[in-house]
Every structure is written in structure tokens, then in C-alpha cells.
Structure 1
Amino acid sequence: MPKSNDSEHVLSNRLTKVIETRFENDQETLEALRQLSSFYKDNTLQARRNLRSQIEKRSLLINENFLSAFREVKESFDDVYNDVADMSKSIRDMTNRLQNARIQTKHLLDQTNSLNNESINNEMQIQVATAFINKFQLTQDELVALHGSKTRKDSTVTMDIFKALDKVQTIHANCKLLMQSGHQTLASDIMEQMTLHQEGALERLYRWSQNHCRNVDNPELTEIIQKAMERLQDRPVLFKYVIDEYCISRRATLVGEFIDALTRGGPSGNPSPIEMRAHDPQIYITDMLAWLNKAIPVEKQKLNTLLAKCTKIDTSQDLENALSSICEGICQPLKIRIEKILAVPIEASIFYAVTNLIRYYRKTMAKVTSGGLLESTMLELQEKSETAFLQSLQNQVTNMLVRVEAPPRDLSPTHSINNLLCVLRDILSTASMSEGRESDMGRIAQTVMEPLLRAMNEQASRLPPTDMAVYMLNCMYSMYTCLSLYQYMEDRLERLQAQSEAQIDTLTSEQASSLVAILNLGPIYTILQDSSHGPLSSIPGMEPSNLRNFLIKMDTLATKPESMLLPQINLLSSSQHKKSVQKRAFDVLIAIYKQLYEAVYNPANLYENPETIFNKSPDELLTLMSNAK
């Protein structure tokens, strides 16, 4: 019983396993079934019994087919093996023959290798020699560029000379490295050779630059000349010689152009020659100085172009000296022509215009070139023009005052004084806009005012004191009015003011004396000044009746102050002077009136009812007179 149970259990397990097996995931089983379906058609009992034998037959057939196919492969491999064996045999034969040939040609191969090595060494030496020559020697073309061709006389310099000089300098620098590597003798020889080439090239550049410095305007030569000057700056002496040659050339050219502008004018006569305007000094000198003012910056620009590449020296100082040297040639013709104008007697105003022109252009040219003969010439011409102007002005003043005119009846300034003041006003108006106006205006005023004051004093000396004071005040008022319009006249205005005050004092004294005489105040004032007398009321002339007559006249003067003024006072040109004289004269009267008023009201003088004598106090009288003015 136990065995039967075990068999059933095993069978049950197998059935369970078969049932649980999922054939759709078993690819081998599916493939086997697919193959089985190809030849298992009928599911019969007989077919199931013959299934094993059919499978075995099918397997046997497959093995037989495989064996047949493998036999063909084996035969193919046998053929290949035989061919490879034949090839191996042939290769062994060839190898043996090559070994025999190599043994036989070994000496020839050794010689060939030795020759190849020598050839390689020679090629390396050739390359080293070529590199050394290129590095430390100049080519034939470079030598020609430095020294020119020996077969033909050709002094033309091209840009190649500068490239060759650069290479010479590079070789110099390389020789220093060569010396450090132990080849001192070779490096020294090369450096000496390069030095000779460099000096010869610089000498050639120097000669060429001297010959062609006049062609600095040629655009084709500009860059070459600039580079030549750049190289020559290392040789200061040669550099200076070239600059001197250039200055000589440009000086002659500038003088020629200046003379042409004076005598020939521009192309086809446009503009016209400057000499054609010599009859007008102002225009003539303006044209000459304007031409120079335009030409000098052009020369400076040309010098800047010439020295544009010079950076190792102080080109500003060299340029300044060179420009001064170029401008020296025009100084003499300019000086001769301007001095000729200054020697001709013309109006002072024209001379002053010429002076200002010279000053302006001197300052303008100094911005371009300072120092040198041109600046000293312009300074000399300026000083001469200033002297000529002052001399002309002095002569003009003298001529206008040569005849002493009698003052007119209205005591106003004479015609010559008015004309001279007009001249002074015109010149001062011009001078106030000039550059040196402070100095000029002072000298102009002194040149005119001193003779004018002398002439005025001489004219006034022939007049009575009152007329003289009025005439002097009128003249000085005109002068003061003229000078007060301008700056830097403070000192002269103060002097005129002081002189006017002196004349006002004189006129005030005359006016006060006249009023005292009209009012018959002389005896009264004398009595008031004498303190030795007794009471004033007992002194003859100081009676109340006499004092009342004086007070009546004072009342008339207070209501009509101008009625008792001197006639000359009304001839004063300045209302301020008139008021000042009138006020000061009236102040004298008020002072006497006050003194008399106090004396009458003094009980010691025994005046009865003083208020009936003086009905106005000094302050009331002063107010009345002030209102009446």
C-alpha cells in the first residue's frame, strides 16, 4: 500500500506540473510542437505509435545531411591547407634567398647608410650656415640700399634703406647674444662690419637730405625725409646741418614769396600787389603783417611735418630755433617799409592805429614763434610806432595851440580847446579798446592835457580875476567831462577837481566880496570884529535904522538870490559849479548875519526890542534862501 500511494503521488505531481505549465511562455516547447506539426498530420493511434520511430528517422536524416555538408567543408579546408603549405614553403625559400642576399650586400648597405648620414649632416650644416648668413649678414640688395649702386651713380634714397638699417640694428642686438654664447671674436667682427655699414648709410642719408630738403613739399618725398630725419637725430651734428640747410632754403623762399606778394601779387594779379596800397599806411601795414601772420604758421607746419618722427630730441626747441631762423629774412624788408611809413608826417590817429596793428600781430606771431630776430624787430617797430604816435600827437596839439586865442565873451572854452578835446576824445575812445590801454591812455592824456592846461592858463592870464576863474572853471569842466568817460583817468580827474576847487574858492571870494559891498556889510563886519568898543547900539552905523536898511536888502537877496550875483556866475558851464559858488558866498553872508543877529540880541549892546529889528533867525533866513534857489 505504501508503494501504490507513492506512485500516485508522483503521478499527481507530474500531472499537476504539466497542468500548471504555461506553454505559451516555453519557447522550446512551442518550437518543438511547431516542428512536429510540419510532419505529424493525422492524430491516430497508429500515428502515435509510429511517432517515436518517425522522430528517430527524421533525426537520422538530419545528421546525414549535416555529415554530407561537413564533408564538403572538410574537403575545402584540406585544399586551403595544401595551398597554405605550398605558400609557406615558397616563403621559406624566398627568406633563405633574401638572407643570403643580405649577407652578400651587407658592406654595400653599411656604406649607403654612412653616406646618408653624412648627407643629412651636410644639409643641417647648410641650413645652419644659411640661417647664420640671414641672421648676421646683409644681402646684396640690402647693401645696394645702404650704399647705392657702384656701377652707376644713383643718389636716390628709397624706403629700402630704412629696412636695411633696421636689420643692421637687429644684427647688432643679435651679436650681443652671440658674444654671451662664447663667440666674442666673431661677434666683434660682425659688429664692426655693421657699424661701418650704418655710418656709411647715415652719411648717405645726410647728403641726400641736404640735397632734397627743399622738396619737403613733395608728397612723394615727405615720408622718406621724415624717416631720414628720424635716423639722423642719433647724429646731432648731421641733424643740425640738415636743419640749417633747410632753414637757409626756406628763408630764401619765404623772402621771395614776401617780395612777390609786395610787388607782383597773387597768380594772375589776384590779389593785387601790396605795394599798390602803400598810399594808405593803415591798409598797407595791415596787408604786410596779415601776409606774414598767415605765412609763418605754414612754415611751422612744414617744420612739424619734417620733424614729425623725431622723438629722441627736444623737437620743440629745435622747431622754435629753426622757425626763428627762417623768419629772419623777412625782418629787414618789413622793417624798412614800416619805418618809411613812420617817418612820414601823418595824423596821430593813423599812427595809433598802426601801433595797435603792430601790437596785435606781434602778440599773434609770438604764439607761433617767440624769440629770435622777428620778435625783436616787431618790438622795435612797436616802440618806434608808439614814439611816432606820441610825437605826431604832440605836434598836432602844438599846431592847434600855436596861436593864443582870446576867450569868447561867454567865457566858454575857445574853438581850439574844443577841437583838441574832440581829438582827445576820439583817440581815447580808440585807446580804450586797445590791448595796452592803461599805459596808452595815460600817455595820451598827458601829451594832450599838459599843453592844454598851459595854453588855458596863458589865455586866462589876460582876463580879470573873476573872468579868469569862470573861464578856467569852464575849461576844466570840459576837460573833466571828457576824461570822466574813460578808465584809468582817476589821477588826472583828481588834479582837475583840485584845480577847479581852487578856482571855485577864488570865485566864491569875489562873489562874497561883491555881496558884502552891495549890502554895505563892510563897516558892520569891521565893527563886529572890534571887541574894544562899548555897546553896539551907540556906535555910528550900528543904529537900528541902519540895520533895518541892511535887513531889507537881505530880504530882497533871500527872495531873489540871483539878482545880486555876479554876471560871470551865470556864464559857468556847470550848474554844480554855479550852485557851489552861490552856496559858499551865501554861507559867508549867513555867518555875518548870524554874528550880527547874536550881537543885537545880546543885552550888553543895549538894543531895545531886537525882535523888531531882526524878524528872521539865521536858520529861517537860510531856509528862505535855500527855497529861493
Structure 2
Amino acid sequence: MLPSSSLSTTSLGAKSNAAPRNPVSLRLYKVLSTTYDDAATRDALTTLSEFYQQSTAFGAKDSPKGEDESDATAHRTEGEDAVAASGTAARARKSLRRDAESKVAQGSQKFLKAFKEVDKNLDILQTYVETMQIQCDEAHAQLQSTNQACKSLLERAGGLRSLRDGVADRQAAVDGFLTLFTLSESERDAIESRDIMIETGFFEAMAKAEKIRDDCHVLMAGEDGPTQAGTDIMSTTSQQLEQGFDKISRWCSLEFRSLGRDAQLEVGSTMREAIRWLRKRPELLSDVLHVLAQTRQATILSTFMDALTRGGPGGRPRPIEIHAHDPLRYVGDMLAWVHQAIAGEREFLESLFSIKGDGRMVGSVRTFDGGGEEEEWIGILMDNAFEKLCSPLKIRVRQTVRSQESCITSYKVANLLQFYTVTMRSTIGDKPILSKTLNEMTDDSYKAFLDTIEAQSRSLARTPLPEDQDVTPPLSILDHTQILRELMSVYQSALIGDENETDRREGFRSILDTMVDNAIEMCINSSDARVIQNPEWDKEVFMLNCVTHLQNVVKSHSFADYKTEALQNDLDLREAEIVVGHYHRVLRDAGLDKCVAVCEAKRPDEPISRVGAMQPTNLEAALRNFATWLSSPDVVQPQRLSRLLDQRLGSRIHRAALRRLANSYELICSEVRKPENKYEAANTTLGSQRPFGQMTALRQVLGIEEDIDM
């Protein structure tokens, strides 16, 4: 069974097919085909449903039954609710327009009631406005009269305000001027206070006062001349600056008197700043530095004497004079203390004058030219500080040097003094009193050393040779050369390393010449005296041994190369002399001396076969002696030359003599073979004895075959 809506639709569809032009059907069809999904339709239906619900509720509230009927309505059944709803819907379809108009009328009544209230309030507001208008008119009238009354007062207030602004501007200008050209109360107190102590604010106040004085020159350079304000400010600041500089001077003097008693000083930033300010007043700085110089002079002298006699704190280090028995250490300790004190004083003064290091290498020479005013002050202060130290130092060093009997110790002390003199000269220069004192002490020590050498040389020259002295260097020469060897070692160790060859030679030339020449002179004098007493004394070998020994001593050092060369020249001369003498001795020992003399002195008109030793009989005897000598040991190593210290020298002398001997034998052979000398069977005469008149065989026997071309 289909629902009624479906039947109605089917019936309508059938009817539409039958009568499509029926207006009722068309309208009904239009109503049924319309969709109610749009928002406006839904809102209209919702409003309509609420309208009738409210109307039903309103009607129930207005019923005459009152609460009883409401209670009865509340107990209706569900069937009754459905009947009521269907009745409301039927009533709504019949009286929709009337109900709508009734609703509109009710709304209009509400609007009228509201507008009535508004109109009533507007009347009240209008009355209030009129009242306020009246009051405003009265207030305006009063304001007009007040404005008229206050106009003159406002004008006067404006004038006063302008005057106040002008005064404020002038006050600001005055305050700014006073700030720029006057010191504050605290700054004045820092400068003018009687308290000598200086604080950081003091230097700030001084800087400001100095700046005020510099800026005040603008006020003094006007077209109308100096202003009164400028003159007053210049006078005030001048007094304040003078007070400040005087305070700095008194404070520095007090600090120098108190701090100067210490051996080592530390300079604070306040002291450096004070010295920087005093440099602007050279006269005050000079007075302050004079106080410092006196204090440091006394302090350094006292400290030096304490180091000599009392030692350091607690006895460490020990007193310097405890080593007075050791001259080298005694003098070295004193000079080392002075050098350390100079370095500490230099560091203190550089810190005082705010001078940075000059960047020089350790040990390099300091340059004193172009150092500026600060370098000049430092030089003067250091010179004054060590002035009184020179006297006790000089006395002690001089006593030590003069008390030495050993020339080696004297030379070591002199070299030590020379080293410290050069070192301190590179630190303080040549002009200070300490440098001059060190130069004097060095000269005195070298003079004492040279006096010792001369005394030793004089003693050496007076030393005779012992009776049993052989041709070796005597003991006195050995002692003398041992001293020379030690002196050369001392000099070598004292060299710094940057000297050139000329300086190295000249530094030891006088000592070397004195000692070597005196030794040679002693040997010559002693040997001459020995020859007089003993003609058999071999002076030439003795002198060669002494000169060779001296050369061996000096040739080990490069700075003595000139003396080594001079001794070699002396050896060459003596070698040439002894070669001649040794040749004549060998020629005599070989038995050919008379034959050679005849050959060398022959006359052209006389055959030598008829002259003395060259006669055949005498010649044969001489050749036999020569052959016998060729078999003796003297051909290889003569006894005389074996006593030479330098065996190479002896071998060289002997070979030279043998070469000359061979030449002499060759001369004899050539003269014998000459027909004009009238020898019968010359070859037989020469060939009867070794070397049979053959030079090659003779040179082989003598061992000089390799020297044929020489």
C-alpha cells in the first residue's frame, strides 16, 4: 500500500498527462516541485514555527483559567498534544495574515512605547542643554573678563620668562666658562694641599691647569688687548702650577732620600709621572736629581764596603776580601760586583726616565751619540753614583797587582782588568770617572807585568850555563818558555773573538818580542861565553836547538805567526852557516880537504899533479882515507847532528853537506882526468879505491841519488 503522497503524485502525474493545462494542477505541481533547501526559506519557516509556538504559549497564559488551566495543560496526554498541534496548524492556515498583522501591530506598539520614552528623555535633555547653554554663556562672559584681567599679567610673565631664559643661557655660559677655565674644589685641594703625598688626581689636576693656561692664550689675544678675565686666569693657574711643581719637587726629594738607601730600587708609575712633569722645569729636576745622585753615591759606596767586609745578608755571599789571597778571584769578584751594580743602576735610571730598551744585542757596544737629553742625564747620574767607589777599588786593585811576583798572575789580572774595562766602557762610555779609573788600573797592571818580564829577562841574561850543560836548551830557557806558553794561553783565552788578525798580533807583540828576543840573546851570550871556556863547545848545534825550541812554543798560536816566520828565517840563516861548517868537517873527516884546497887554488900554468896533496902518492893516500870514511857510520848519521832536536833539520844539513862533498870529489876527478895536469894512468889512480871515480856510485853510497837535479 503506497503512501498518500505517492498516490497523490501518481494521480497528479496521470491528471497532468490528461489535462496539462489545468491552472490548479500547474500551481499544485509548482508548489510540490519547489525545494525548500535554500537558507532564506528555512529561515522563514523557522520564524513561522517559532511565531506559532509563542502564540500558543501566549494564548495559554492569557486564558481565564490561569494557573489551573496551565496545570491541566501540563497533564495532557500525548494524544491531546497531537490534536492541539493539528488545531494550531489549521488555525494558522486560516488566519496567517491576520496573525501576522497582529504581530506587526504588537511590534509597532512596542516601538511607539519606546519612542515615547525617548521623546520624554529628549525633552529632559533639551531642558538640560538649555540650562547648560545659559551656564556656558555666563562662563564665557566670566572668561572674557578674566582674559582681559590676565592679559597684562601674561604679557609680564612672558617678559619675565624671556629674561629667565636669557639669564639661564648666561648662567650656562658662565658655568661652561668656569668649567673650562677654573679648577674644581677637589682639584684645587689636590694641588694646594699642604700634604706632600701625591695621588693620581693630583696629576689630572695639573694637566687640567696646564690645559687652562694654554687655552687662556685665546683670551689674551683679543683685538683690544688682554682681557681682565684672561689676566686673572693666567695669574691663578700660574700660581697653582708653581705650587704643583713645588709639591712634586718636594715629594721626589723625599722619595729619593728614603728609597735611595736601598741597593735595588723599583720605580713606580707615580714616580715616573712625577719625573715626566719635572722635565718641564729643568731647574727643579736638576735639584731633585742632585739629591738622588748624592743618595745613590753614598748608598753604592756603603754597599760596596759591606760586600767587601761583611758579605751579603746572613753571610751569603761571603765577603769578597776573604779571597784576598787569590788575586785573580779577589779582583774578579770586585769588578763583577761593580759591573752588576752598574747594570742595576742603569736599569733603575732607564725606568725612572721611562726609556725603553735600545734593542741592542747582549754584549754589543752601546752607542752614546744621539741618545737625547735622557741619555745625558743617565750618564751624569751614573758617573756621580760611582765616583766615590773608584778610590777604594783602585787602592785594592793596585795593592794586589804590585804584590804579585809571578808574571803569569800579573798578566791574568791585567787581562781581567782589560776585559772589564772594555765591557764597562760599552755600558757607560769612555768619559765617566769609573772608565778612566779602570783604564788607569789596566795600564798600571800591564806596566807591572812588563816590569816583571823585564826583570825576569835581566835575570835570564845573567844566568850562566852549567858546566855539564849539553847542546839541548838549558833549564832556564825551558822555564822561560813554559811561562811564555802559559802567557800565550792566557792571551788566547782572553780574546773575545771579534778581533781581526792585526789586533790579535799587536795585542801580544810586545810581550812576545821581549820574551823571545831575550831568550835568544841569553842563548847567544851564554854560548859565546862557553866557547871561550871550551873551544870544543858546539855553539851552532846549541843555537839551532834553542831557536827550534822557541819556534815550537810560539807556532801553536796564530797571533804569533809573524814571530814563527822570524824564527824560521833565523833557523834558515843558522842552517846555512852550519851546512858550511859541517861540510868542511865532513871534508876533513873524509881526507879530501887538502886535495880540494889544491884544486880550488891551482894556477893555470902549473899542473896540479906536482902540487902538494894532489901529487899521485898523496892523492892515492887521500882516496884510501875517503874510501875508508865511506864505510863509517858518519856517512849515514853523524854524531854531531844527532844531537839536534829536529832530526829532519839534521838530516837536511847532512844531506846538503854530502851534496857539496860529492861535488868536491867530482872536482878532484875532473882535475885528475885533465891532460894538462899530467897524471899518468889517471883512471887507474881513481879506480883503485871506492867509488872508483864514478859519481853515480858515490851518490848511491851517500844516499843522495834522488837529489842529482837539486
Whether TM exceeds 0.5 here: the answer is: yes
Q: Give 1:32's match in structure 2, choosing from 44, 48, 53.
A: 44
> 2:511 maps to which residue?
444
Distance (Å, rounded) in 1 between the aligned partners of 2:290 and 2:418: 30
Matched, 1:206 2:249: yes
**Residue 227 to residue 22, structure 1, CA distance change in 2 (3 Å):** farther
SS in structure 2 at match of 1:318 = helix
In the TM superposition, residue 376 of structure 1 has moved relative to its aligned partner by: 0.8
Alpha carbon RMSD of aligned pairs, Å?
Answer: 4.1
Residue by residue over 1:166-219, the C-alpha shift from the partner in whole angstroms, topping out at 9 and shown as x without a partner, is 121221233244457878413244224323332343244334434443234699
> 1:241 maps to which residue?
287
**Residue 21 to residue 216, structure 1, CA distance change in 2 (3 Å):** farther
Pick which of 370-379 and 231-240 moved more: 231-240
**What is the TM-score with the length of structure 1 in the denominator?**
0.84
Residue by residue over 1:100-133, the C-alpha shift from the partner in whole angstroms, topping out at 9 and shown as x without a partner, is 3443444445445544544444444434333322
Residue by residue over 1:408-441, the C-alpha shift from the partner in whole angstroms, topping out at 9 and shown as x without a partner, is 4531111111111111111111111113753343
Matched, 1:352 2:411: yes
**Residue 233 to residue 540, structure 1, CA distance change in 2 (3 Å):** closer
Matched, 1:430 2:490: yes
Distance (Å, rounded) in 1 between the aligned partners of 2:607 and 2:40: 181
SS in structure 2 at match of 1:314 = helix
Matched, 1:316 2:375: yes
Q: Residue 591 of structure 2 contacts residue 623 of structure 2 at CA under 8 Å; is this kept in 1?
A: no
Distance (Å, rounded) in 1 between the aligned partners of 2:320 and 2:327: 11
What amino acid is aligned across from residue 253 of structure 1 in structure 2? T
Q: How does 1:111-190 map to 2 (within 5 A)?
A: 111-149=156-194, 154-178=195-219, 184-185=226-227, 186-190=229-233
Matched, 1:271 2:317: yes
Pick which of 487-496 and 385-394 moved more: 487-496
Distance (Å, rounded) in 2 between the aligned partners of 1:222 and 1:340: 42
In the TM superposition, residue 516 of structure 1 has moved relative to its aligned partner by: 1.6
What amino acid is aligned across from residue 216 of structure 2 in structure 1? C
Q: Residue 397 of structure 2 contacts residue 441 of structure 2 at CA under 8 Å; is this kept in 1?
A: yes
> 2:520 maps to which residue?
453
Distance (Å, rounded) in 2 between the aligned partners of 1:271 and 1:309: 32
Q: Residue 146 of structure 1 contacts residue 161 of structure 1 at CA under 8 Å; is this kept in 2?
A: yes
Pick which of 292-301 and 130-139 moved more: 130-139
> 1:378 maps to which residue?
438
> 1:575 maps to which residue?
647
**What is the TM-score with the length of structure 2 in the denominator?**
0.75
Distance (Å, rounded) in 1 between the aligned partners of 2:33 and 2:414: 138
Residue by residue over 1:523-563, the C-alpha shift from the partner in whole angstroms, topping out at 9 and shown as x without a partner, is 43244433626777787866888767666655665565535
**Residue 56 to residue 423, structure 1, CA distance change in 2 (3 Å):** same
Q: Give 2:459's match in structure 1, choosing from 399, 403, 408.
A: 399
Q: Give 2:472's match in structure 1, choosing from 397, 405, 412.
A: 412
Q: Residue 216 of structure 1 contacts residue 306 of structure 1 at CA under 8 Å; is this kept in 2?
A: no
Q: Residue 597 of structure 1 contacts residue 618 of structure 1 at CA under 8 Å; is this kept in 2?
A: no
Pick which of 358-367 and 130-139 moved more: 130-139
> 1:232 maps to which residue?
278
In the TM superposition, residue 481 of structure 1 has moved relative to its aligned partner by: 0.9
> 1:191 maps to which residue?
234
In the TM superposition, residue 357 of structure 1 has moved relative to its aligned partner by: 1.6
Q: Residue 558 of structure 1 contacts residue 624 of structure 1 at CA under 8 Å; is this kept in 2?
A: yes
Distance (Å, rounded) in 1 between the aligned partners of 2:422 and 2:162: 83
Distance (Å, rounded) in 1 between the aligned partners of 2:267 and 2:653: 86
Distance (Å, rounded) in 2 between the aligned partners of 1:592 and 1:369: 74
Matched, 1:504 2:575: yes
What amino acid is aligned across from residue 35 of structure 1 in structure 2? T
In the TM superposition, residue 61 of structure 1 has moved relative to its aligned partner by: 4.2
Matched, 1:258 2:299: no
**Residue 51 to residue 543, structure 1, CA distance change in 2 (3 Å):** farther
**Residue 433 to residue 71, structure 1, CA distance change in 2 (3 Å):** same
Distance (Å, rounded) in 2 between the aligned partners of 1:577 and 1:408: 25
Q: Residue 473 of structure 2 contacts residue 542 of structure 2 at CA under 8 Å; is this kept in 1?
A: yes
In the TM superposition, residue 467 of structure 1 has moved relative to its aligned partner by: 0.4
Q: Residue 474 of structure 1 contacts residue 573 of structure 1 at CA under 8 Å; is this kept in 2?
A: yes
**Residue 220 to residue 67, structure 1, CA distance change in 2 (3 Å):** farther
Q: How does 1:509-588 map to 2 (within 5 A)?
A: 509-529=580-600, 530=602, 532=604, 562-563=634-635, 566-588=638-660
Q: Residue 421 of structure 2 contacts residue 435 of structure 2 at CA under 8 Å; is this kept in 1?
A: yes
**Residue 287 to residue 221, structure 1, CA distance change in 2 (3 Å):** closer
> 1:387 maps to which residue?
447
In the TM superposition, residue 470 of structure 1 has moved relative to its aligned partner by: 0.7
| Greater C-alpha radius of gyration | 2
What amino acid is aligned across from residue 251 of structure 1 in structure 2? Q
Q: Give 1:99's match in structure 2, choosing from 133, 137, 144.
A: 144
Aligned residues: 616
What fraction of aligned residue pairs are identical, expressed as a percent? Answer: 25
Q: Give 2:564's match in structure 1, choosing from 493, 497, 501.
A: 493
What amino acid is aligned across from residue 242 of structure 1 in structure 2? V
What amino acid is aligned across from residue 415 of structure 1 in structure 2? L
What amino acid is aligned across from residue 31 of structure 1 in structure 2? D
In the TM superposition, residue 507 of structure 1 has moved relative to its aligned partner by: 2.3
Tell me, which stretches of 5 or more residues in structure 1 are unaligned? 1-7
**Residue 313 to residue 571, structure 1, CA distance change in 2 (3 Å):** closer
Identify which of structures 1 and 2 has the higher relative contact order when contacts are C-alpha pairs closer than 8 Å and 6+ apart. 1
Tell me, which stretches of 5 or more residues in structure 2 are unaligned? 1-20, 53-84, 357-370, 496-502
In the TM superposition, residue 473 of structure 1 has moved relative to its aligned partner by: 0.8
**Residue 600 to residue 68, structure 1, CA distance change in 2 (3 Å):** farther
In the TM superposition, residue 323 of structure 1 has moved relative to its aligned partner by: 1.1
What amino acid is aligned across from residue 364 of structure 1 in structure 2? T
In the TM superposition, residue 148 of structure 1 has moved relative to its aligned partner by: 3.7
In the TM superposition, residue 330 of structure 1 has moved relative to its aligned partner by: 0.8
What amino acid is aligned across from residue 345 of structure 2 in structure 1? E
Q: How does 1:73-84 map to 2 (within 5 A)?
A: 73-84=118-129
SS in structure 1 at match of 2:493 = coil
Q: Residue 264 of structure 1 contacts residue 272 of structure 1 at CA under 8 Å; is this kept in 2?
A: yes
In the TM superposition, residue 483 of structure 1 has moved relative to its aligned partner by: 0.9
In the TM superposition, residue 603 of structure 1 has moved relative to its aligned partner by: 7.2
Distance (Å, rounded) in 2 between the aligned partners of 1:305 and 1:76: 99
> 2:75 maps to which residue?
none
Q: Give 1:474's match in structure 2, choosing from 516, 538, 545.
A: 545
**Residue 120 to residue 173, structure 1, CA distance change in 2 (3 Å):** same
Q: Give 1:306's match in structure 2, choosing from 352, 363, 366.
A: 352
> 1:293 maps to which residue?
339
Distance (Å, rounded) in 2 between the aligned partners of 1:309 and 1:416: 59
